[in-house]
Amino acid sequence: MADTAKPPLAATLRRIERSAGALASSAVARMDETLPWFRALPADQRSWVMLVAQAGVRSLVEWLRSGGAVATTQEISDEVFAAAPRALARSITLTQAVQLIKATIDVAESEVGELAAAGEEKALLEAILKFSREIAFSAARVYARAAESRGAWDARLQAMLVDALLRGDSSDVLASRAAALGWADAPPVAVVVGRSPGGEITSVLHAVYRAARRARLEVIGGVHGDRLVVVMGGVTDLAASAAALAPSFGDGPIVVGPAVPSLDQATESARAALAGFRAAPAWPGAPNPVAADDLLPERALAGDAAARRALRHDVYGSLSRAGGGLLETLDAFFASGGVLESAARELYVHPNTVRYRLKRVAEVAGLSPLDGRDAFALRLAMTFGRLDPAT
């Protein structure tokens, strides 16, 4: 004898199928009534939500017909969101999607008395609650996939932006790529370079963004080989901002480029930071993070033309223009091993005169001959200046 068994809730299924359109319309009406943000959506997005609601009712019928089989649950629930374009996930947040699901389930629950056949009310209510759970999980999967895709794309776009910065591309190229990432270009801007901690690039950048949010910084980052390059915006304190991001970097030196007014001038900061990163091992006692400008001597010795130019022009040139025997006093002071009295005898002046001139050196060049680190920079500046006196 043929199997004449009917699917569970067969009578109820027929009623739901006949009421599918009205049920979806009631759900959208409930959303319009209870969710102010839904009323503000453009017409095309509201129509997408209507499609999703209709697909949800159809999927509920299929799910009930299968008896809630576990094997088909995910497939059926995922079909609900396949009815709308992926753009909907970018227009409506996950929180808002949950609110839409709740509004739809509230309507379905309120209609159980009309939809269920006699004696099947409790079974239908339980089925709706179970199916709503699967729909919620399906929504989470949709948004998780969208977030992963967006994160991977953002990581690639940021890497391209950092590449453009390092190459010195035009400001139009930088502006267009930064705009795609939502960069507000809050001044001033500075670039930080350090070693990447390794692992997935999206995970590395996520750690950078988390630290930046805590420090109230705007950032764009990219991983280049073993280096992590981060552009900071809205920097009020270079050292403090870099220190806030330091846990996101791997072991080794972290170098901060000089602050510049905007992103289209950040190439200068990036090049200084990269040059400092390469030269930093030559100063074992350097603070970490360290400013690229504090590494001028090491950068110059490593072949960085910008660092040599800064020492030659800003330090040696300033002392040369100031006159007053400052360069001659430095020569005598360094030749005497830093002994004031010996330098004074060499110059045939009183030791107090040497003290005064050394103080003037610190005022003019921003480097004190009495500090070992500054003295090293001063001697290099004098060497580079005399090698190319024309500039």
Mean local confidence (pLDDT), 108-122:
81
Same domain, 181 and 283: yes
**pLDDT of 168 above 70:** no
**pLDDT of 4 above 50:** no
Both tokens of 66, joined, read: 């299968």
Same domain, 27 and 131: yes
Same domain, 245 and 274: yes
Same domain, 63 and 110: yes
**pLDDT of 135 above 80:** no
Residue 298 included in any domain:
no
Dist CA 254 CA 62 (whole Å):
58
Dist CA 134 CA 32 (whole Å):
24
Mean local confidence (pLDDT), 188-197:
93
Both tokens of 267, joined, read: 């190439």
More confident residue, 53 or 346: 346
Residue 255 included in any domain:
yes
Do 332 and 343 contact (CB within 8 A), yes or no? Answer: yes
Dist CA 60 CA 228 (whole Å):
49
**pLDDT of 10 above 90:** no
Same domain, 102 and 51: yes
Helices (H), strands (E): how many in the chain?
20, 5
Same domain, 120 and 177: no
pLDDT value for 138: 72
Domain that holds residue 245: 168-290
pLDDT value for 345: 94
Write the single-letter amino acid at 351: P
Point out which residues pair with 314 in neighbouring strands.
Answer: none
**Which 8-state DSSP code applies to residue 260?**
B
User: Of the residues 241, 264, 290, which one is the last residue of a structural domain?
Assistant: 290
More confident residue, 370 or 150: 370
| 255-256 β-sheet, strand order | 218-224, 227-233, 189-195, 255-256, 290-291
pLDDT value for 361: 96
Residue 22 included in any domain:
yes
- Nearest CA to 320 out of 368, 386, 387, 377 is that of 386
- Nearest CA to 212 out of 242, 173, 237 is that of 242
Dist CA 329 CA 344 (whole Å):
8
Mean local confidence (pLDDT), 15-43:
84
**pLDDT of 98 above 70:** yes
Q: CATH no. for residue 246?
A: 3.30.70.2730
CA distances from 48 to 44, 55, 86 (A): 6, 11, 10
User: Of the residues 237, 265, 290, which one is the last residue of a structural domain?
Assistant: 290
Q: CATH no. for residue 339?
A: 1.10.10.2840
Residue 230 included in any domain:
yes
Phi/psi at 206 (nearest 5 deg)? -60, -40
Both tokens of 341, joined, read: 């009295």
Mean local confidence (pLDDT), 78-94:
62
Lowest mean pLDDT among 24-38, 92-106, 244-258: 92-106
pLDDT value for 181: 65
Q: pTM, whole model, 2 decimals?
A: 0.63
> In angstroms, what is the C-alpha Rg of the chain?
34
The number of distinct structural domains making up the chain is: 3
Cβ contacts of 294 within 8 Å, gap of 6 or more? 286, 287
| Mean pLDDT taken over the chain | 82
pLDDT value for 292: 96
Do 329 and 343 contact (CB within 8 A), yes or no? Answer: yes
Same domain, 115 and 18: yes
Same domain, 142 and 247: no
Residue 98 included in any domain:
yes
Residue 4 included in any domain:
no
pLDDT tens across 55-83, in order? Answer: 777 777 777 777 665 444 555 555 556 55
Same domain, 189 and 286: yes
More confident residue, 123 or 93: 123
- Dihedral (CA of 146, 152, 158, 163) sign: negative
Interhelix angle 43-65/70-82, rounded to 10 degrees, is 160
User: Of the residues 257, 290, 323, which one is the last residue of a structural domain?
Assistant: 290
Dist CA 167 CA 91 (whole Å):
35
Same domain, 14 and 145: yes
Do 340 and 329 contact (CB within 8 A), yes or no? Answer: no
Same domain, 281 and 313: no
pLDDT tens across 292-312, in order? Answer: 999 999 999 999 999 999 999
Percent of the chain whose pLDDT exceeds 90: 38
pLDDT value for 48: 80
pLDDT tens across 206-259, in order? Answer: 889 889 988 888 888 888 888 999 989 888 899 999 999 999 999 999 999 999
pLDDT value for 155: 61
Residue 299 included in any domain:
no
**pLDDT of 40 above 50:** yes
**pLDDT of 88 above 70:** no
Same domain, 173 and 126: no
Write the single-letter amino acid at 350: H
Lowest mean pLDDT among 11-15, 66-70, 76-80, 130-134: 76-80
